[in-house]
Structure 1
Amino acid sequence: MVSATAEHLYHPYRFSVDEYLRMGEAGILTEDDRVELIDGEIIDMPPIGIPHTGAVKRIANLFGRQLGDRVVLSVQDPIRIGDFSLPQPDIALLHPRDDFYASAYPEPADILLLVEVAESSVRYDREKKLPLYAAAGIMEVWLVDIPARKLTRYSEPSADGYRSVGEPDDLGKVTARALPNSPIDLDGLFG
């Protein structure tokens, strides 16, 4: 049995975003490492499968064609959430900015919509990343579950998660809340 005093001596170290970025600058982490910083923990991500890459490319292509310069389309790039998280959502639609976010990572206020595509990471995305996004106030997230062949929309963020969760009735007309006049046709998403 561990004494109460010893329990206070041992606790996991949480890396800050700045420390995490310095690991990259020092070559400890490289571009080839599939990792994300989530709540101060460096998370090793599974390899990306072909169905996942196809879905990300398809969605990014549709967003690019249908939304044009009304958004900045970010594909598998980091977003900054506070001092301890630098996740890399599969797709982020961002408010347009003249510098295209060259001066700083996008933060929750910059995000119109996040899309996470899950082939083997459905549970991780649902239980770890979505609560992080909700607590940060990210207005809407779409979770594309490839094995289940479904898209789930999460909106109305709170500290306890998203209050509104549902599947669209028609994949041919999926509309992000931040872009109400821009329905996206995702009919062929699952082949």
Structure 2
Amino acid sequence: MMQLLNKRFTVAEYHSLHEAGILTEDDRTELLRGEIYQMSPVGRRHASCVKRLNHLFKNIYKSRIIIGVQDPIELSNESEPQPDISLLRWQDDFYLAKHPTPEDILLLIEVADSTVGIDQTSKLPLYAEHGIVESWLVDLNQECVLVNRNPAIDGYQDIQVFKSGQSLSVQALPEVAIEVNKILGLDVINT
């Protein structure tokens, strides 16, 4: 009887697949726990929210941080996800020598419409397991932002839901409150 082989990849092997042309940028993949995942196509609402978040953070924090937009982060030898937005500690070489690692990350954000379940069951637990101090899940369908803090090996210990009309701030950069309506684009829709 033939058995199916389940191959787990390291980050180096994953990069080799790209270098060999087996995987291309058009494939839109990411490596989570040694498995290669095909990322969902980016819809209009999702793309708009990512652009809006990038714009918001650029205006708020100017040049105090580096903003990654759908860029890889290296969590371990088997995980290199591509969060929608990452707020990173300033580094003069803009992470030329290496992808950001957990120590470099102030905040990770996933924007979800069709991927809420995958983000909640796969990506957020992975972020917590690797000590990412804060992650947000922008749920476009429920029009809310789930703020995840206090990471532990079994997930985030502090999860708060912020909705329209409320404000929140980045734990590592608490001096500025950000309106949920601005994150979700409700301020534009309702005007």
What's the RMSD between the two structures over aligned residues? 1.8
Say which SS state the counterpart of residue 102 (structure 1) adopts.
coil
Counterpart CA distance in 1 for 2:17 and 2:29 is: 12
Tell me how far apart the structure 2 counterparts of residues 185 and 166 of structure 1 sit (CA, whole Å). Answer: 15
Any residues of structure 2 matched to 1:40-119 within 5 Å, and which? 40-119=34-113
Q: Identify which of 149, 159, 168 aligns with 1:155.
A: 149
Question: Which runs of at least 4 in structure 1 moved beyond 4 Å after TM superposition?
Answer: 169-172
* 2:131–2:151 CA contact under 8 A, matched in 1: yes
> Do the aligned partners of residues 171 and 97 (structure 1) sit closer, same or farther apart at CA in structure 2, a change above 3 Å counting?
farther
* Deviation (angstroms), 1:158: 0.1
Matched, 1:179 2:165: no
Identity in percent: 44
What is the match of residue 137 of structure 2? Answer: 143
* 8 Å Cα contact 1:62-1:185 kept in structure 2: no
Q: Which has the larger radius of gyration?
A: 1
The offset of 1:181, in angstroms, is 1.2
Secondary structure, in 3 states, of the residue corresponding to 2:51? helix
Matched pairs, number: 185
State the AA in 2 paired with 1:155. Answer: R
CA distance in 2, matches of 1:159, 1:171: 33
Structure 2 CA distance for aligned equivalents of residues 182 and 70 of structure 1? 13
Q: Distance in 2 between matches of 1:39 and 1:127?
A: 13
The 8 Å contact of residues 63 and 184 in structure 1, kept in 2 or not, is answered as no
TM-score, scaled to structure 2: 0.91
How far, CA to CA, are the matches of 1:169 and 1:29 in structure 2?
39
CA–CA separation in structure 2 for the residues paired with 1:124 and 1:23 = 24
SS in 2 for 1:53: helix
* Correspondence for 1:22: 16
Amino acid at match of 1:25: E
Q: In the aligned structure 1, how far is the partner of 2:52 from the partner of 2:166?
A: 14
* TM-score w.r.t. length of structure 1: 0.91
User: SS in structure 2 opposite 1:129?
Assistant: helix
Structure 2 spans left out of the alignment, 5+ residues: 187-191
Residue of 6, 23, 27 corresponding to 1:12: 6
Q: Higher strand share goes to which structure?
A: 2
